[in-house]
Amino acid sequence: MNITKRPFGQTPDGAAIDLYTLTSGNGVTINITNYGGIITSLLTPDKDGLPGEIVLGFDQLQDYLSSAYIAKCPYFGALIGRYGNRIARAQFTLEGNTYTLPINNGPNHLHGGIRGFDKVVWQAQEVMDKMTVGVRLTYLSKDGEEGYPGNLTATVTYLLSRDNELTIAYEAVTDKATIINLTNHSYFNLSNGAMPDVLDHELTIPADRYVAVDQTLIPTGELPETKGTAMDFTTRHPIGEGINQVPGGYDHTFVLNRSGDGLTVAAQVYEPISERVMEVLTTEPGIQFYSGNFLDGTLRGHGGWVYSKHYGFCLETQHFPDSPNQPGFPSTTLLPGQTYRSTTVYRFSTR
């Protein structure tokens, strides 16, 4: 195992950005930058032991800063906060106070706002022990930033193990009541560019219910059963099998079948050509499955790959959308004296 660090460029205001490369010693290599906490590259072995790229991203910082990327804002590989997913009408009420957030997705607030955690510079520290190598990122989101209350200190630790497991551990504390829902927005394509989309990837999500949403992707408050619908991934089948039955494609939170508060399996993906397998475990109550519906071919990434519709998929472990306005959903409130903790693990293997 090893970790290296190299310069990755500068932001428009002159902040120096670094790129950290983590290697497992067993075929997995991950590049992470302290700009937005972005996973820019993730190489894993295929059935023949040959490493290949399995995430969407760029090789240069300037591509993440370009006007074309900002206009599309796909959040490739980035840390998302303070609140991942949508908040209806960009407002919520907490302890009798109403807070107004930036509107950046139709009539709603999405992924922390105009300058969410995906566009800030994190303080980085290398971490390493006998079993893991990683980088710990810390960011102070000041009271009122993007409309959120409280000075929030967030810490996100990426750890890669000898066993080819990537752990993302999230923590946060605040000095004022606030809301929080952190996640990572990596897009995956396990074929290493061999296929033009991910519709043949075979997906399992152990969820008997999902979060129903309206036309602007805000929850209705209902949690329908997945059984007998195109939302049923309790048994493995290709992503594309039922996608035409879902208006716009998949962009839904699945309510995980949990039996406790610890890590539970949230998803498993199998790619038939490379025979790569990715398993996702989490402490979160839900996982957002997004099938890359808004990718439109205007962005090119690793190897010149054209990121067209459905070229990648996301599996974002998180609480439910709009939870601050949905009293029946698990709470996303964080109070002074409490510590927000969340853990997600990605396991990489072949079949």
Concerning whether 185 is annotated as a catalytic residue, the answer is: yes
Helices (H) and strands (E) in the chain, counts: 2, 27
Measured between alpha carbons, how far is 89 from 156 in angstroms, rounded to an integer? 28
- Per DSSP, the residues of 84-131 read -SEEGGGEEEETTEEEE----BTTBEETTSTT-GGGSBPEEEEEE-SS
Which neighbouring-strand residues pair with 267? 280
Longest CA span, the chain: 59
Q: How many CA atoms lie within 13 A of 273 on its CB side?
A: 14
The active-site residue out of 109, 111, 185, 310 is 185
The 3-state secondary structure of 229-287, one letter per residue: CCCCCCCCEEHHHCHHHCCCCCEEEEECCCCCCCCEEEEEEEECCCCEEEEEEECCCEE
Residues shown for the chain? 351
Residue with token string 């967030």: 154
The active-site residue out of 53, 271, 316, 319 is 316
Residue with token string 């409309």: 147
Concerning whether 241 is annotated as a catalytic residue, the answer is: no
**φ and ψ at residue 297, rounded to 5 degrees:** 85, 0
Contacts of 217 by beta carbon, 8 Å cutoff, 6+ apart:
86, 105, 108, 251, 321
289 and 206 Cβ atoms separated by less than 8 Å? no
Instruction: Give catalytic residue positions.
Output: 185, 316
